[in-house]
Amino acid sequence: MVTERQLATSKSVHQRTGPTFYLATRLLPKRVRHPTYVLYAFFRTADEVVDDAAGVPPDEQRAELERLRQQALGNEPTDDPVLAAFREVADERGISDGEIEVFVEAMQTDIDKARYETYDELETYMRGSAAAVGEMMLAIMDADDPEQARPHAIALGEAFQLTNFLRDVREDVVERNRIYLPQTTLSRHGVTNEQIRQLDYSESFVAVMRDELKRAESLYWDGVAGIQYLPEDCQLAVLLASVLYADHHRLIREREYDVLSETPQLGTTRKLWLLAKTRWQWRFSRDPETVFRAVSSIPDGDDNRAGTGSPMPTR
């Protein structure tokens, strides 16, 4: 069993590094909330190996990820409270070794790869960085029909990931020299990697952001449509997470798509307002799509649902 110390450490990591998702996690029942703290802390621990690695040689990053992989799989002992707790949760909730492997492999990709030619190539990366996360969350929620819920959980995981990419364009290129906007989208609108490195805001960059926001918003609708297949006591929390992440799109549009001069951030007051509004709407309609349509900042409509890529991700 996960010890109180391990749980407290994991919860602290979650609260410190993911305040938006942490707020939604608070609405989960205890049987899911506590394992979620552990999962998120594990994700952040792995992510920080490559994201907070200034001055650390690539070989050392790979070695650290390999150590983390072996401990997460239970092949090596660990005194790290987060990794020890994760192994306990993985055993208790039936998280497959395969999902752990693809997640760590995605983190390894960040060591060497900083550009993605097409959305399909980016989606392959997200198979580990987002879809594996969705798969693990399904495992700890113990949905009645996971096969029915799975494609929607994957879509929602990708939507969250794409929102992060679009919000963090400046941070990713300045701090890590990474550009997650597909090169094909950049080329279609005449934007170069050098322009992004120079933080050159232009109408062409606006067009890129419009396209990629629409793609992400198509995935939100696919994802929210599947919340109904989750356990009833988990639905509101997942819906709130969707509303909160999607609200970054409002911020981006209000800034006229300028994510190069500053990274948009949701304030605490706004988050609490969205929490109250979502809970209020949930009292009258337990249909996730109806509430998301009423509360979220993402427009509805056939054009939005179509997006610029495939309507349902393959991963």
Q: pLDDT (tens digit, 9 = 90+) per residue, 81-91?
A: 999 999 999 99
Q: What is the mean pLDDT of the chain?
A: 93
pLDDT score for 299: 84
Q: Is 50 exceeded by the pLDDT of residue 128?
A: yes
- Dist CA 95 CA 83 (whole Å): 14
pTM as predicted: 0.92
Query: Residue 54's pLDDT band (boundaries 50, 70, 90)?
Result: confident
Domain count for the chain: 2
**Of the candidates 51, 80, 112, which is a domain's last residue?**
112
The Cα–Cα gap between 60 and 92 comes to: 32
Question: What confidence category does residue 313 fall into, taking pLDDT thresholds of 50, 70 and 90?
Answer: very low
Position with higher pLDDT, 99 vs 1: 99
Same domain flag for 221 and 88:
no
Average pLDDT (74-101) is: 95
Cβ atoms within 10 Å of 261's Cβ, excluding its own: 9
Tens digits of per-residue pLDDT, 175-214?
999 999 999 999 999 999 999 999 999 999 999 999 999 9
Are residues 126 and 67 located together in one domain of the fold? no
> Which range of residues forms the domain containing residue 272?
115-293
> Is the pLDDT score of 301 beyond 60?
no
Clarify whether residues 175 and 271 are in a common domain. Answer: yes
The phi, psi pair for 286, rounded to 5°, reads: -90, 20
Q: Note whether 114 and 179 are within 8 A (CB).
A: yes
- Confidence label for 315 from pLDDT (cuts 50, 70 and 90): very low
Check whether 254 has a pLDDT greater than 70. Answer: yes
Q: Are 242 and 275 found together in one domain?
A: yes
241/193 same-domain check: yes
Per-residue pLDDT band for 304 (boundaries 50, 70, 90) equals low
One domain, residues 15 and 46: yes
Cα 158 from Cα 220, distance rounded (Å): 8
Distance CA 113, CA 62 (A): 13
Rounded to an integer, what distance in angstroms lies between the CA atom of residue 54 and that of residue 111? 11
Predicted local confidence at residue 51, as pLDDT: 87
| Domain match, 77 and 191 both | no
| DSSP class of 74 | T
53 and 136 in a common domain: no
Percent of all residues in the chain with a pLDDT value above 90, rounded to a whole number: 90
Establish if 308 belongs to a structural domain: no
Query: Do 22 and 142 sit in the same domain of this protein?
Result: no
Last residue of a domain, one of 112, 136, 153: 112
- Say if residue 97 is in the same domain as residue 162: no
pLDDT mean over 25-43? 97
Domain boundary, last residue among 68, 83, 112: 112
Q: Is the pLDDT of residue 297 over 80?
A: yes
**Residue 307: its pLDDT value, please?**
39
pLDDT-derived band at 68 (thresholds 50, 70, 90) equals very high
Task: Report the pLDDT value the prediction gives residue 52, as an integer from 0 to 100.
Answer: 83
142 and 73 both lie in a single domain? no
Phi-psi region of 301 (alpha: psi -120 to 50; beta: other; left: phi over 0): left
Assigned domain for 301 exists:
no
| Tens digits of residue pLDDT in 137-186 | 999 999 889 999 999 999 999 999 999 999 999 999 999 999 999 999 99
Is the domain of 167 the same as that of 262? yes
